[in-house]
Structure formats: C-alpha cells, structure tokens
C-alpha cells in the first residue's frame, strides 16, 4: 500500500482475517522491556515473587516426575487434563466454597487460555461482554480479538455496583446488542484491588440469572488474602450459570502455565473439544509436576508464606503513598497484587509515563484497563514483585513525577491571558502566511 497513507512493509497485510484488527500489544506487555532494566523500579507488571517458593520443593517434584512417571509426563495427554491433578484442583477450590466432580474440571494452559477458549465458544462479531470498569487488560484484548465489544459497568470500593449493572444491561439491550456474558474478578480485583462483598455477589448473580447472562468468574488471587479471606466464590452459589476460572500462576509459579475452568456440563464438553482443537492437550509434564508438588509439599503453608510476603509489600506501598503523595487517593487491598491510584483532574497517567521512566520508575496507565479510553487519571501500582525498599524508592520517584506535573499545571493556571491588541493596517498579524 502506497500513497498518502505510507508504505506497508508486510506483503501479507491484505490477507489477514478481519478479526486480527483487534490484536494489539497491551500497555502492560509493552512496559516489560523497560521495566526489566535493573535501574528501573517496576510497579507495573503483576509478576509473582517466585523467589519466595523454595527451589527444593520444585526440584523434588520434577525429579519424582521424571524418575517415576517420565514416560507418561513426556507423552501426549488428555484434552481435559490429568485426572489426579483435577482431583487436587477440587481441593483447592473447596477452600473457596466450590464443590464438584473431577469430570467438571478442564485443565488449560493458564486461566487466560480458558478465557480465550470460552470467548471462541461464545463470541460472534458484534456481541457484547459486560466487564467491570476497569477490568483486566488482557481479557479486553481477548474479547476484542473475537470482534466483541467490551462494555464497562462501574465499580466502587465494594466492587461491581449492582444498580449500575442493571442500568448497563438495560442500555445495551435497548441498543439491540447481544450480551454473551458478564466477566468479573470478584476477589482483589485486577487492577483496583477491591473485593466484591458477599451481599453484592448474591445480588449480581440474581441479576445475571434474571437476564439470562452467563457469569465468567476469574479468580487468580482469591487465596492470597492478608487479614481475612474473601467471601466464598460466586460459583459456590450456582453451578449452572457460572464458569469459574482458576490458575496456579499466582499461588505456585506462572512458568508452569497451568490453569483450569469448572463449568456446567454442556459447556465443559465444548471446552474439552475446543482445548483439543487448539493445543491437542495441555502439558502433561507441567501437570504432573504440580500434582507431585501438591502430594509432597505443604502447599497450603506455602500459600500462607506468599500471603506474608505480599502483605509486607502492600504495607510498604501504602505507607510510602501516605508519606509522599498524601493528597492523592488510592484503594487499600486486603489481598492480591495491586493498588489503584487516582490523581487530580487534568493529570494524564499515559502521557506522564515517559517522564516516569526517565525518573526510573514504571507503572501501568489506567487507560490500559478500559476499552473506551477512560482511566487517564488512574494508574495501577503493583506491589507483588519489588522488595519493600524498592517499593518505597519507586513511590518516592513517582511522587517526584506527579508533583512536578502538578507544579507545571499550577504555573500555567496562574498565568494571566495575553492582552488583545487591536490590529493596525501596518502591523502584520502574528501568524501571517
């Protein structure tokens, strides 16, 4: 393609499917290259602190897998997942009030893979997914890749607002659009860090039932609470109207890439078929390593260790925000990885990011978590990976950037407008020509 629009160097540009127009690099992924520089304090990515996991635990699991089940672990497996691991997944979900059978569970290559499979099963071009506003950045990308529209419904400190959800549903239906499912992260939500109350979980489920809307409950962080456990999962209330997504990425290690879905019977059957069509089978090796780990290690105790690690980091971030940015507002999470910062009007977190990187601190702009361009006054700050001293230094650097922006805005706002001088015939206008 040439002309006024320039030259496209991709000779296959005109051959791609229309849905590829929805594929774009996320703002989170784009930050990883910068954030990985050792001099930059990264408050951007939601990377678990895997160093808190004793290496020997994984080494033992790997050695047992190779020595005792090597021929099975290195072979193709079931499209639904290793039966023993599915039994152990039921033990994990029981901690949040979910009960089911081994046949209900489908193992996937991370919970995001389950989200993509469900999107493939349900979404046609033009369909609507209702999601919290803000919502998980990659979920928005997945929905867009299937040419669906993400419509956000507002949240507050107690999670998704039920009355606002009713209004959002009514508005979308009045526009003649099809709502395929409600996507939400009820516990320690990404990116806000807030938790949906029990009363709201019940009410939102009733709204979804009455409107005939499937609920996708994504729960990566639910076991990583600090002071008290979150309410039971929404799936514990309804086995027919809720698909629950879980993962070992946050409570064990993301590099193993093992997640799961528990779904109503008919959906589960289609998920298995979609899984086989996409990848034939999830990694038998990774599944058996995790199964061995859960058989031989105190995995509940290890989750408790992670809670302590992340609680210390959360406390460091909150104290630093109070010290360096006391005029800002932010959420106070009781678990998970994230704090959601709100800045004054006229500040733009996306425009400010290059200046922050120059000050050697990175964050994720709030716009990444909206499909409609909102979130410019917000930023997601991740406390999961940096050590407390680095978190405190990162917030100090961030305060330098924000306060510098506020000072600059203050200077401009106090500048008197230039007087209007009547033009004379022998004086050229200032921008003549």
pLDDT tens profile 84-137: 999 999 999 999 999 999 999 999 999 999 999 999 999 999 999 999 999 999
Q: Is 72:287 a contact under the CB 8 Å cutoff? A: no
Phi/psi for 432 (5° steps) reads: -60, 145
HSE at residue 14, side-chain half, CA atoms within 13 A, is: 5
Q: Which residues are CB-neighbours of 135 under 8 A, at least 6 positions away?
A: 150, 152, 183, 184, 185, 369, 370
The three-state secondary structure class of 212 is: coil
Token pair, residue 201, equals 């979980």
Contact 127, 172 (CB under 8 A): no
Mean pLDDT of 36-48: 88
Categorize the per-residue pLDDT at 419 as very low, low, confident or very high, splitting at 50, 70 and 90: very low
pLDDT in tens, 209-238: 999 999 999 999 999 999 999 999 999 999
89 burial (CB, 10 Å; 0-12 / 13-18 / 19+) is buried
- Across the range 351-379, mean pLDDT stands at 95
- Does residue 19 or residue 253 have the better pLDDT? 253
Q: Does domain 55-296 have CATH number 3.40.710.10?
A: no
In this prediction, residues 27-46 reach a mean pLDDT of: 75
pLDDT higher than 80, residue 410: no
The answer to whether residue 428 scores a pLDDT higher than 90 is: no
Q: Which residues of the chain form CATH 3.90.1150.10?
A: 20-52+301-410
The CATH fold of domain 20-52+301-410 = 3.90.1150
pLDDT of residue 193: 98
Which pLDDT band, with edges at 50, 70 and 90, does 8 fall under? confident
Question: 111 or 16: which carries more pLDDT confidence?
Answer: 111
Whether the per-residue pLDDT at 418 is higher than 60: the answer is no
User: Could you tell me where in the chain the CATH 3.40.640.10 domains are found?
Assistant: 55-296
pLDDT of residue 32: 58
- pLDDT at position 210: 98
Tell me what percent of the residues of the chain surpass a pLDDT of 70: 90
């Amino acid at each position: 393609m040439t002309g006024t629009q320039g030259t496209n160097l991709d000779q296959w540009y005109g051959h791609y499917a229309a849905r590829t127009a929805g594929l774009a690099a996320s703002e989170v992924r784009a930050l990883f290259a910068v954030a990985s520089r050792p001099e930059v304090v990264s408050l951007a990515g939601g990377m678990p602190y895997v160093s808190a996991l004793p290496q020997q635990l994984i080494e033992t699991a790997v050695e047992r897998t190779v020595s005792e089940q090597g021929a099975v672990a290195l072979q193709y497996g079931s499209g639904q997942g290793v039966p023993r691991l599915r039994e152990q997944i039921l033990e994990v979900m029981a901690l949040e009030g979910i009960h089911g059978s081994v046949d209900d569970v489908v193992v996937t290559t991370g919970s995001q893979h389950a989200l993509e499979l469900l999107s493939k099963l349900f979404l046609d071009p033009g369909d609507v997914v209702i999601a919290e506003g803000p919502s998980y950045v990659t979920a928005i990308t997945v929905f867009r890749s299937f040419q669906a529209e993400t419509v956000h419904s507002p949240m507050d400190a107690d999670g998704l607002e039920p009355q606002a959800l009713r209004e959002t549903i009514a508005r979308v239906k009045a526009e003649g659009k099809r709502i395929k499912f409600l996507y939400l992260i009820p516990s320690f939500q990404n990116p806000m860090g807030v938790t949906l109350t029990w009363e709201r979980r019940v009410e939102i489920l009733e709204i979804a039932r009455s409107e005939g809307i499937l609920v996708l409950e994504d729960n990566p962080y639910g076991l990583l609470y600090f002071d008290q456990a979150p309410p039971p999962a929404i799936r514990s209330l309804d086995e027919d109207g809720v698909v629950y997504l879980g993962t070992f990425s946050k409570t064990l290690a993301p590099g193993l890439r093992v997640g799961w879905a528990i779904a109503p019977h008919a959906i589960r059957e289609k998920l298995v078929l979609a899984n086989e069509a996409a990848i034939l089978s999830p990694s038998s090796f990774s599944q058996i390593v995790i199964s061995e780990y859960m058989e031989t290690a105190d995995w509940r105790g290890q989750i408790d260790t992670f809670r302590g690690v992340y609680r210390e980091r959360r406390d460091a971030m909150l104290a630093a925000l109070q010290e360096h940015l006391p005029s800002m507002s932010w959420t106070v999470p009781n678990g998970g990885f994230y704090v959601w910062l709100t800045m004054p009007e006229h500040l733009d977190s996306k425009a400010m990011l290059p200046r922050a990187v120059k000050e050697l601190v990175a964050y994720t702009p709030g716009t990444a978590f909206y499909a409609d361009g909102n979130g410019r006054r917000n930023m997601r700050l991740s406390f999961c990976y940096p050590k407390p001293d680095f978190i405190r230094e990162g917030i100090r650097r961030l305060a330098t950037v924000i306060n510098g922006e506020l000072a600059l805005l203050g200077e401009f706002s106090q500048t008197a407008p230039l007087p209007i001088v009547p033009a004379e015939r022998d004086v050229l206008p200032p921008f003549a020509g």
